[in-house]
């Protein structure tokens, strides 16, 4: 799921005006579908809120430069689309997460080491902080130094980390503070559940796991993973 919002956000940042009118219309339609899905599933809310904010900011700039603007179509249509974005933002801000009716084992029923193990798999520090706000026990776990150390080492190189050392009052490295410092300075490692693969031999794009009948002698060596940015770059001449 992460791939699409990331792609839409990159387009919103810089490529919106290079889309044709039909493509701009499709962009808005896809975005609407994504927002509806998030409202239904109640997942990835922050991701989409950030996307909408980026898009709205871009559109504000573009609409203000009317005349020079390269947005295709009547300006009123874009004002209407911006109103839709504001409406979606409001819906996402007011979303009430419904607690699942399931009454079995919950996260906090698991042994501590398992809870910690699961927390180590969260790749965004903000999720750890949110999780810590759920219950006092989780608060203690979410402050685990090793957890934050691993998170720093996952996203950043040793060199980047060495440049942003922060010591706590006890004289130890404060990995949590360092993490939030580091994300302001360097891009985090991108990770996607689904990635696009490009076969350089056949010039075929496919999702990872859906293989094409490759004619290369050694298919594995011709295939490269594409990030959303790499995908956009394919359209640059
Ligand atoms: Zn191939």
Region of poorest pLDDT, from 12-21, 117-126, 138-147:
12-21
Same domain? For 90 and 159 the reply is no
Please state, in angstroms and rounded to a whole number, the distance separating the CA atoms of residues 126 and 152. 13
Task: Identify the pLDDT of residue 67.
Answer: 55
Same domain? For 112 and 87 the reply is no
| Average pLDDT rounded to a whole number, residues 225-229 | 86
**What pLDDT, in 10s, does the model give residues 127-147?**
999 999 988 889 999 999 999
93 CA to middle of ligand 1, Å?
45
Please state, in angstroms and rounded to a whole number, the distance separating the CA atoms of residues 27 and 179. 34
Please state, in angstroms and rounded to a whole number, the distance separating the CA atoms of residues 143 and 233. 40
Task: Identify the pLDDT of residue 161.
Answer: 92
- Of 62, 94, 126, the residue that ends a domain is 94
Range of the domain at 47: 2-94
Same domain? For 181 and 200 the reply is no
Same domain? For 51 and 13 the reply is yes
232 CA to middle of ligand 1, Å?
20
Task: Identify the pLDDT of residue 148.
Answer: 94
Same domain? For 9 and 74 the reply is yes
26 CA to middle of ligand 1, Å?
29
Task: Identify the pLDDT of residue 72.
Answer: 67
Name residues whose C-beta falls within 8 Å of residue 228's C-beta, 6 or more positions apart in sequence: 3, 6, 7, 10
Contact predicate 81/27, CB 8 Å: no
Per the prediction, the chain carries an average pLDDT of: 86
199 CA to middle of ligand 1, Å?
5
The owner of tokens 């490692």 is: 189
Task: Identify the pLDDT of residue 71.
Answer: 67
Same domain? For 169 and 138 the reply is yes
70 CA to middle of ligand 1, Å?
38
**What pLDDT, in 10s, does the model give residues 79-107?**
888 999 999 999 999 988 877 777 788 88
Domain for residue 101, yes or no?
A: no
We report the CATH number of the domain holding residue 129 as 1.20.1280.50
Same domain? For 56 and 33 the reply is yes
198 CA to middle of ligand 1, Å?
8
Contact predicate 48/34, CB 8 Å: yes
Same domain? For 29 and 82 the reply is yes
Task: Identify the pLDDT of residue 128.
Answer: 92
Task: Identify the pLDDT of residue 114.
Answer: 92
Look at residue 217 and tell me whether its pLDDT is greater than 90.
no
Q: Is 221 left (phi over 0), alpha (psi -120 to 50) or beta?
A: alpha
Same domain? For 44 and 17 the reply is yes
Q: Which contacts (CB < 8 Å, 24+ apart) does range 154-162 have?
A: 154/123, 154/189, 155/123, 155/179, 155/182, 155/183, 155/186, 155/188, 155/189, 156/182, 156/186, 156/188, 160/185, 160/186
19 CA to middle of ligand 1, Å?
29
**What pLDDT, in 10s, does the model give residues 47-75?**
899 999 999 988 888 877 665 556 667 77
Sign of CA dihedral 25, 63, 73, 76: positive
Q: Which contacts (CB < 8 Å, 24+ apart) does range 59-64 have?
A: 59/16, 59/85, 62/16, 62/17
Domain for residue 190, yes or no?
A: no
Please state, in angstroms and rounded to a whole number, the distance separating the CA atoms of residues 1 and 98. 21
3-state secondary structure of 103: coil
Region of poorest pLDDT, from 79-93, 160-174, 218-232:
218-232
* Count of structural domains, the chain: 3
Look at residue 192 and tell me whether its pLDDT is greater than 80.
no
CA-based max dimension of the chain? 62
192 CA to middle of ligand 1, Å?
22
| Average pLDDT rounded to a whole number, residues 159-168 | 91
pTM of structure: 0.76
- Of 40, 70, 94, the residue that ends a domain is 94
Name residues whose C-beta falls within 8 Å of residue 96's C-beta, 6 or more positions apart in sequence: none
Same domain? For 84 and 10 the reply is yes
Same domain? For 12 and 79 the reply is yes
Domain for residue 100, yes or no?
A: no
Q: How far apart are the first and last CA of the chain?
A: 28
């Amino acid at each position: 799921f992460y791939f699409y919002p990331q792609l839409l956000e990159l387009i919103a940042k810089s490529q919106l005006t290079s889309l044709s009118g039909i493509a701009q219309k499709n962009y808005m339609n896809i975005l609407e579908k994504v927002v509806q899905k998030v409202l239904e599933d109640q997942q990835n809310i922050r991701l989409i809120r950030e996307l909408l904010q980026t898009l709205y900011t871009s559109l504000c700039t573009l609409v203000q430069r009317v005349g020079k603007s390269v947005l295709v179509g009547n300006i009123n249509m874009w004002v209407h689309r911006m109103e839709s974005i504001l409406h979606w933002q409001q819906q996402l801000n007011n979303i009430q997460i419904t607690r699942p009716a399931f009454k079995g084992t919950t996260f906090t029923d698991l042994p501590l080491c398992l809870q910690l193990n699961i927390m180590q798999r969260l790749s965004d520090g903000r999720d750890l902080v949110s999780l810590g706000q759920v219950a006092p026990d989780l608060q203690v776990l979410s402050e685990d130094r090793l957890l934050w150390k691993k998170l720093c080492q996952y996203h950043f190189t040793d060199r980047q980390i060495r440049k942003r050392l922060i010591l706590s009052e006890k004289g130890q490295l404060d990995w949590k503070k360092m993490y939030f410092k580091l994300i302001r300075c360097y891009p985090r490692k991108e990770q996607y559940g689904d990635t696009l693969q490009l076969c350089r031999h056949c010039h075929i794009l496919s999702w990872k796991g859906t293989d094409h009948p490759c004619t290369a002698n050694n298919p594995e060596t011709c295939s490269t993973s594409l990030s959303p940015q790499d995908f956009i770059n394919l359209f640059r001449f």
